[in-house]
Amino acid sequence: MRIQFLPAEHMGFKAITNPSSPTRRIFTAVSAAVLLLLLNTGLAQRAQAQSWTLQWSDEFNAAAGTSPNSANWTYDLGNSGFGNPEIEDYCAPGSNLTPCVASQPNAFQDGNGNLVITAIRNSSGQWTSARLKTQGLRQFQYGRIEARMKLPVGDGFWPAFWMLGADINSDPWPGCGEQDIMEWVQSYSPTTTSSTVHGPGYSGANGIGAQVTFPNGGRVDDANYHVYGVIWSPNTLQYYRDSPSNVFKTVTSSTIPSGDQWVFNNPFFLLLNLAIGDGGFPGSTDGSTPSSATMLVDYVRVYQSSAAKSLNGTHTLTPQNSTSLRLDDQGASTVSGNPIDVFTANGTGAQSWAISNANVVPSGYYNLATEGSFCLTASGTGSGAAVVLDPCNGSSAQAWNAVSTGSTYEFTPANNPSNCLDVRGDGTASGTLIQTFSCNSGPNEQWAVN
């Protein structure tokens, strides 16, 4: 199919996991099914029992006609189709660039607590719509991510809530990864939605996902809001609808085809859009298609596990590749640019880190200070940049996000959240230097905060 050759950001095609080989023995298939059921049941029970703390949200509570918050949302624009059979022009609020009309915005807040994304067919038959994204403004790594929405149905309509890897500019699709939290297309009928992941080797028609039907006669357009979400943790994605206890599809690093790369342990940004199809997966408009469609979003929320508690206080940090070591100001020096290393635990002030998120930008990030007013600093944005000690100055190089992985944390700098605080070369010798390196979930990037 054409889709397999396109460098698109968002392909959207669904393929449920491959069927078993017909040569497999029946008992093997049954055993695998039982094991998968037990795995999914255990994960779902764990998700239901977990408690969550709201990290970020947009509640869309502004006055009627207000544009989406520019601190949270920017826009993809134009009519390229983005590698898909789409025929709409995406417009930004306030644009009069033909065929966009500023007085008929495609994205606005309605004054009743909703974001409105509306697709409009003008008198010339041209469709306009909106595609919002948090790229460059808000990005996230792990947690529970959901949107409460009302969706339109109609031939050719393609509403979606999804995510793309924040490194898409340096690692184009599908290498950056794509998580389709919710999609609807006409072939599903109004009773069904889907969730799918795409990555290198399992993209487009080979994406890994599932369709799920509403229970008890429910529909996409049953006049009720529905919640569409994912519970995202290292090496695991759990997709749900209406409640995190209703996990219907679990994808893990062992789910993807052998030899292919799991690309979902890095930061992602969010997207909301209402596309209009012109064949293929999204279908096509026809005489039955309404001339406008409205997608309502009550909220978008990102939660973190309550296990990821506030780290404010004074702590030591222990790398999990060698638990006898501690994060250390080399030589207990207060010279600007002094290297940071790991060193045998010794109880000195050089290994005592005052962690605080007070007045740190971005909100929720932490400064890590030692030796008074000197802060842990990422000296650059590239993978392999040295980590040093500099006077605290409020820069993004000194703001660190603490991502809970359960009993430990990964620390990512705000100046490049794709990097993690890393023991160089996975070294275990006292004096090994610290760097920022592309996050890979290795034990040399996992830190126990004691």
**What secondary structure does DSSP assign to 295-337, as a single string?**
EEEEEEEEEEETTS----EEE-EEETT-TTEEEEEGGG--STT
Give the model's confidence band at 290: pLDDT under 50 very low, under 70 low, under 90 confident, else very high: very high
Whether 30 has a pLDDT exceeding 80, the answer reads no
Element (H, E) at 36: helix 26-49
Res. 284 pLDDT band, cuts 50 70 90: very high
Q: What is the mean predicted confidence (pLDDT) over 184-209? A: 97
Residue 27 has pLDDT above 60, yes or no: no
Report the mean per-residue pLDDT for the chain.
Answer: 87
Tell me how far the alpha carbon of residue 173 is from its chain's centroid.
Answer: 14
Q: Catalytic residue, from 183, 371, 410, 445: name it.
A: 183
Give the per-residue pLDDT at 177. 97
pTM of the model: 0.68
Binned at pLDDT 50, 70 and 90, residue 18 comes out as very low
Give the Cα separation of 231 and 226 in Å (integer).
Answer: 16
Q: Is the pLDDT of residue 16 over 60?
A: no
The per-residue pLDDT for range 308-338, each reduced to its tens digit, is: 567 889 999 999 999 999 999 999 999 999 9
* Domains of the chain, CATH where assigned: 2-305 (2.60.120.200), 313-449 (2.80.10.50)
d(CA 230, CA 246): 11
| Pairing state between β 236-241 and 317-319 | unpaired
In the predicted model, is pLDDT for residue 87 greater than 80?
A: yes
**Is the pLDDT assigned to residue 45 strictly greater than 80?**
no
Q: Which amino acid belongs to residue 265? A: N
Contact yes or no for 371/332 (Cβ under 8 A) = yes
The more confidently predicted of residues 234 and 245 is: 245
pLDDT of residue 433: 98
- Report which of residues 3 and 225 the model is more confident about: 225
The predicted pLDDT at position 33 comes to: 40
- What percentage of residues in the chain have a pLDDT greater than 90? 73
Largest Cα–Cα distance of the chain, in whole Å? 76
Strands (E), 333-438: 338-344, 353-356, 367-370, 374-378, 385-391, 400-404, 409-413, 419-423, 434-438
Secondary structure of residue 71 in the 3-state scheme = coil
- 276-312: burial string, b at 16+ Cβ within 10 Å, e else: bbbebbbbebeeebeeebbbbbbbbbbbbbeebeebe
pLDDT at position 316, please?
Answer: 96
- What pLDDT digit, counting tens, does each position of 355-388 carry? 998 888 876 789 999 988 999 999 999 999 999 9
Q: Let me know if 178 is a catalytic residue.
A: yes
DSSP secondary structure letter of residue 407:
S
388 vs 139, higher pLDDT: 388
Q: Identify the H or E element spanning 434.
A: strand 434-438
Catalytic residue chosen out of the listed positions 86, 178, 410, 445? 178
Reply yes or no on whether 183 is catalytic: yes
Task: Tell me how many degrees the CA angle 234-236-241 measures, rounded to the nearest 5.
Answer: 125
The beta-strand segments (E) located in 8-76 are 52-58, 74-76
Cα-based angle 411, 416, 417 (whole degrees, multiple of 5): 45
Per-residue model confidence (pLDDT) at position 50: 65
The pLDDT value given to residue 308: 54
Task: Label residue 306 by pLDDT band (50, 70, 90).
Answer: low
